């Protein structure tokens, strides 16, 4: 036992003497910030927190009523429908039994539902004119048509029966046809046309622009069998009916018979509707026999 005890003590002493020569490891300092030490188990985050994800719905595919266009996004808000016309000050006194209604609208509403209310209030307006292209005079057919001579240089030709009774050269072609409508009034014939870059009404072959010193004349139709048309003089829009001329006061009537932003005048049996401007304001105007 003494021998074992001495050996064990010697072995233990050697181990202790060897351990005193092992170097102690250098501990690195815990990283700190101005807010204090960062716990070793907490990662050091330098970027901003990732925001929560908010789901955005997919846009919808919407087709227009005529299926001619499509839009990415929310379907457009329906255009407003005008329910009552404002009172004009001063009121316009029109010849015959004509009356006028004027709707103040925004340009983007043109050609939408603004046309419908007046038909509901005036059921006697009659149907839409199938705009004529002639008629009967003394048992003979009157017709007018556009004829191209050469390359895009139209002429207006009119015939009564088998005889040509009228021809006029209209200059270079435009995106509006030279013959818009042709009418018969008693023994008279009328052509509403676009010639030499102006709207003009030819009455028995005579240009109203030239004979009555109009800048332009347009929107011809019959109301109660009497000729009605609009014209421009001194940069203002006038009306002719019952052999009287009346100043309407508009600066311009939108006469877009082809490929433009506004629809042309709409002709009914007892009224006419059109777009017009006065200054920067756009109006939808209805003139007719309301009573």
On whether residue 2 sits in a domain, the answer given is no
Is 0.85 surpassed by the pTM of this model? no
* Structural domain boundaries, residue 254: 99-288
Q: What mean pLDDT do residues 103-129 have?
A: 72
**pLDDT at 183 (0 to 100):** 95
**pLDDT at 103 (0 to 100):** 83
Nearest in space to 182 (alpha carbons), one of 154, 145, 209, 215: 145
On whether residue 80 sits in a domain, the answer given is no
On whether residue 277 sits in a domain, the answer given is yes
- Among the ranges 20-34, 37-51, 150-164, which has the highest mean pLDDT value? 150-164
On whether residue 16 sits in a domain, the answer given is no
Residues 6+ apart with CB under 8 A from 188: 203, 204
| Domain total in the chain | 1
* Helix H or strand E encompassing 19: helix 2-19
Which has more confidence, 56 or 248?
248
- The torsion region of residue 289 among left (phi > 0), alpha (psi -120 to 50) and beta comes to beta
On whether residue 94 sits in a domain, the answer given is no
Q: What mean pLDDT do residues 5-15 have?
A: 51
């Amino acid at each position: 036992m003494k021998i074992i005890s001495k050996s064990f003590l010697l072995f233990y002493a050697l181990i202790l003497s060897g351990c005193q020569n092992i170097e102690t490891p250098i501990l690195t300092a815990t990283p700190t910030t101005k807010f204090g030490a960062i716990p070793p188990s907490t990662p050091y985050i330098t970027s901003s927190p990732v925001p929560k994800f908010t789901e955005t719905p997919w846009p919808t595919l919407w087709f227009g009523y005529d299926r001619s266009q499509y839009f990415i996004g929310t379907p457009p808000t329906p255009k407003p429908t005008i329910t009552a016309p404002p009172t004009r000050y001063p009121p316009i006194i029109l010849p015959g039994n004509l009356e006028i209604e004027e709707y103040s609208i925004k340009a983007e509403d043109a050609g939408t539902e603004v046309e419908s209310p007046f038909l509901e209030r005036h059921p006697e307006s009659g149907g839409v004119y199938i705009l004529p292209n002639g008629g009967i005079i003394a048992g003979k057919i009157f017709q007018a048509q556009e004829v191209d001579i050469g390359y895009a240089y139209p002429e207006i030709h009119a015939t009564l029966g088998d005889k040509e009774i009228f021809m006029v050269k209209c200059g270079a072609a435009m995106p509006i046809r030279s013959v818009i409508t042709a009418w018969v009034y008693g023994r008279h014939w009328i052509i509403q046309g676009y010639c030499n870059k102006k709207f003009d009404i030819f009455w028995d072959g005579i240009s109203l622009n030239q004979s009555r010193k109009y800048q332009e004349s347009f929107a011809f139709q019959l109301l109660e069998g009497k000729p009605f048309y609009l014209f421009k003089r001194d940069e203002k829009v006038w009306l002719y009916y019952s052999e009287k001329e009346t100043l309407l006061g508009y600066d311009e009537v939108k006469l877009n018979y082809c490929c433009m932003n506004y629809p042309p005048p709409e002709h009914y049996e007892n009224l006419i509707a059109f777009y017009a401007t006065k200054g920067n304001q756009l109006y939808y105007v209805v003139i007719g026999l309301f009573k």
